[in-house]
A and B are shown apart, each in its own frame.
Chain A
Amino acid sequence: MPPAPAIAVADLVVDRGKKPVLKSVSTEIAPGTVTGLLGPSGSGKTTFIRAVVGTQKVKGGTVTVLGEPAGAKPLRGRVAYVTQDASIYRDLSVKANVAYFAALYGRDRHEAMRAIERVGMGDHADKLAGNLSGGQKTRTSLACALVIEPEVLVLDEPTVGLDPVIREELWDQFRALAAGGATLLVSSHVMDEADRCDRLLLLREGQFIADDTPAALRESTGTANLEAAFLHLIRELEGAR
C-alpha cells in the first residue's frame, strides 16, 4: 500500500472575482517528494497554492494536508508558505525578519542565522529588508520558511530573479529537504527546474493538463525536453477543440 498522500486535492473549484480560476482539479502528492506546479501566467498556480495553505476561499471540493483540512489549526506549525512576492517586513533587518518567523515556531536566533546562511544572505544579515534587491528579498522570504524546517513546504515561484548558482544551491536544498522526509510543492515558470522535480502538475486555464513524472511526460509526448513536452500537450489540446 502506498503511503497516505501528504497533500490530497479532490475536485477543487475556486472562483476569484466571480471568474472561475480552478475548475475542479484533483491530485495527490506523496510525502517526501518535490512536486513542480507549472503553467502560464494567470493559469491559477498561486490560487492553487493558496488553497493548499488554506488562505484561499474555495467554492467546492476538498484539500487535505497531512490528514487535516487545509489551513486547520494543527497544520500551522507544520506547513510553511513562501508567497510569490516576498512577504517580509521592509522596516526590519534580514536577521530580525527571519528571527521573528523563527521565534513564532519556537526556534532561536542561531537557527535563524543558519537559515540566512543557507540562502546566501549571511553578508546582508544586518541590512534593512527594504533596502535589498528583488532577489535578496526573495531569499530572505525563503529563509523565513526554511528556518521552520516544516513537514510541508509550499513555495510560489521561489527562484524568480535569482542567478543560476543560487538557484542550483536552492534546488539542492529542496532535494535535501525532501530526502529528509519533507513534502515540497514548488511553482515555477522555468522548465529546466521542472527536471529536478519528482512529479509535475501542468496547470492550464484552471485545469491540470498533466500530472506525471518528468520522464513519463517526455516519453508520452515523444519529446526530448519538458518545454517541448508542455508545448506538445497544449497543441494537442487546442487541436482537439
Chain B
Amino acid sequence: MSLRITFITAGRILRQLLNDHRTVGLILAVPALIIALISAIMDDAPQVFDKTGLILLAAFPFMLMFMITSITLLRERTGGTLERLMTTPTGKLDLVVGYALAFGTAAAAQTAVAAGVAFLWLGLDTAGPTWAVFLICIVTSLFGMALGLFVSAFATTEFQAIQFMPVFVVPQLFLCGLIWPADQMAGWLQGVSDALPLTYAVKALAEVQAHTEVTSDMWADLAVVLGAVVVATVLGAATLRRRTD
C-alpha cells in the first residue's frame, strides 16, 4: 500500500463528487431537513426525538455511504476505469482506503451539518459529549461504505445496485432500534438484531445519550462496528479482481 497513491485516489474521488453540485447539495441538506421534519412531527415528545433524531444522525451517513460507494464503484467496474487502474501502480488497498477517505470526508461534512442543525436549532439533547456522537456517526458511515463496496461486486447495473438498498440497509434500519426498541422485539428478531452491526452503533449512541462520561460499553459497541468495517472492507477488497474473464 502507498500512502501517496491513496491520497491521490481520495483526491480524485472527492473531485468527482464536488463536480456534481446537485449531489453535494442533497448530501448536505437532506438529512438536516428530514431530522427537522421528524423534530416537528415529534414536537410534543422531545425525549422521543432525542432518541430517534440521534439514531437518524448515524443512519443517514450510513445510507449515503452505502449508496454512493456502491454506485461509484459499480461505475468504475463497468466503465473500464477499474481495469485500467489495475494496470497502474494503484493497489487494491490504495483504492479502498482512498474511497474511505473521500467518502468519509463527505460523511463528516453531512454529519456536521445535520448534527449542527439537530443540536443547536432543534434542541437535540444528549448527556454525553457531542464528539462521541460524531465519532460513532463516522465509523457507522464507514461501515456503509464497506458494505457498498462489497455489494457493488454483485450488481451489474445501477438499477440492481439501488435494489440492494432494501436488501442490505433497510432491514438493519428496522431492526437496529430506530422504529422499535430491540429489547421489545420477538426473541428471534432480537437474535437477528444482535447480529447486525448497525444495532451496535445505535447501542453506542444510547450510551452517549444516557451517560455524561464516555462509557466502556460505548467503546465496546463501537469496536463491534469497527470490526464490521474491517471485515466488510476485506471482503470488498477481495471482490476487486486484477484478472477477470
Contact = CB atoms under 8 A, between A and B. Distances in A.
Interface stretch (A84-92, A184-192, A231-239): A84-92
Interface string A41-75: 00000000010011111000000000000010000
A55 B80 contact: no
A89 B81 CA distance: 7
A111 B79 CA distance: 25
B78 to A, nearest CB: 10
A89 B12 contact: yes
A143 interface: no
Interface string A98-120: 00110111000000000000000
B84 A87 contact: yes
Q: How large is the interface on A (under 10, 10 to 19, 20 to 34, 35 or more residues)?
A: 20 to 34
B19 A104 contact: no
Contact of B242 (A16, A54, A87): A54
Contact of B12 (A50, A77, A92, A105): A92
A100 B84 CA distance: 12
Contact of B245 (A16, A54, A71, A100): A16
B89 A92 contact: no
Classify the interface of chain B: helix, strand, loop or mixed: loop
B243 A71 contact: yes
Given A71-B87, A96-B12, A104-B5, 4 more contacts: A54-B242, A56-B244, A81-B84, A104-B90
A81 B12 CA distance: 20
Interface of A: 16-17, 50, 53-57, 71, 76-77, 79-81, 83, 85-93, 96, 100-101, 103-105, 128, 144
Interface in B8-66: 8, 12, 15-16, 19-20
Contact of B79 (A55, A87, A96, A144): A87
B125 interface: no
B83 interface: yes
B162 interface: no
B88 interface: yes
B149 to A, nearest CB: 18
B83 A88 contact: no
B5 to A, nearest CB: 6
B90 A57 contact: no
A76 B89 contact: yes
A17 B16 contact: no
Interface in B196-220: none
The 4 closest A-B pairs by CB, nearest first: A87-B80, A87-B84, A81-B87, A100-B12
B244 A57 contact: yes
Contacts of A100: 8, 12
B89 A85 contact: no
B153 to A, nearest CB: 16
